[in-house]
């Protein structure tokens, strides 16, 4: 190949987060967290690390984990996984996604 290639790896995990709507009613969202790294990591180890972070916040109120937005949830993964460089949080039921990138 005549151009540089950067290989990146990702682990994707399901995530359930609850919060109170503007009407004060508690409801939840089924999200997918896709966490990327450019580091040379074993994919099984990477998935375990991503799954561990997801398990820490699974089912918690957004207010409890100090995440008011899906962007905040993405930043939790970036903060807790130093080898991560990109996180995409997807809300498949609405076709929404947010991305946070480490610069």
List the structure tokens of 102: 């480490």
Q: Is residue 13 part of a domain?
A: yes
Cβ atoms 74, 88 nearer than 8 A = yes
Q: Beta-carbon neighbour count of residue 38 at 10 Å?
A: 14
| Domain boundaries, position 25 | 9-101
Q: Beta-carbon neighbour count of residue 17 at 10 Å?
A: 22
Q: Is residue 52 part of a domain?
A: yes
pLDDT in single tens digits along all 103 residues of the chain: 587 877 788 999 999 888 777 788 877 888 999 999 988 888 999 999 999 999 988 776 666 666 677 888 899 999 999 999 999 999 888 889 999 998 8
Q: Is residue 81 part of a domain?
A: yes
pTM for the full predicted model: 0.84
| Residue 13: strand pairing partners | 33
Domain total of the chain: 1
Would you state the torsion angle of the CA atoms of residues 31, 28, 67, 43, taken in this order, to the nearest 10 degrees?
Answer: -30
List the structure tokens of 90: 């997807």
CATH number at residue 21: 3.30.479.10
């Amino acid at each position: 190949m005549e151009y540089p290639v950067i290989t990146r790896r990702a682990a994707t995990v399901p995530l359930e987060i609850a919060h109170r709507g503007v009407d004060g009613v508690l409801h939840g969202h089924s999200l997918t967290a896709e966490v990327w790294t450019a580091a040379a990591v074993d994919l099984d180890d990477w998935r375990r690390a991503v799954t561990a972070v997801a398990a820490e916040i699974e089912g918690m109120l957004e207010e409890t984990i100090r995440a008011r937005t899906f962007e905040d949830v993405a930043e939790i993964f970036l903060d807790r996984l130093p080898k991560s460089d990109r996180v995409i949080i997807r809300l498949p039921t609405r076709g929404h996604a947010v991305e946070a990138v480490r610069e």
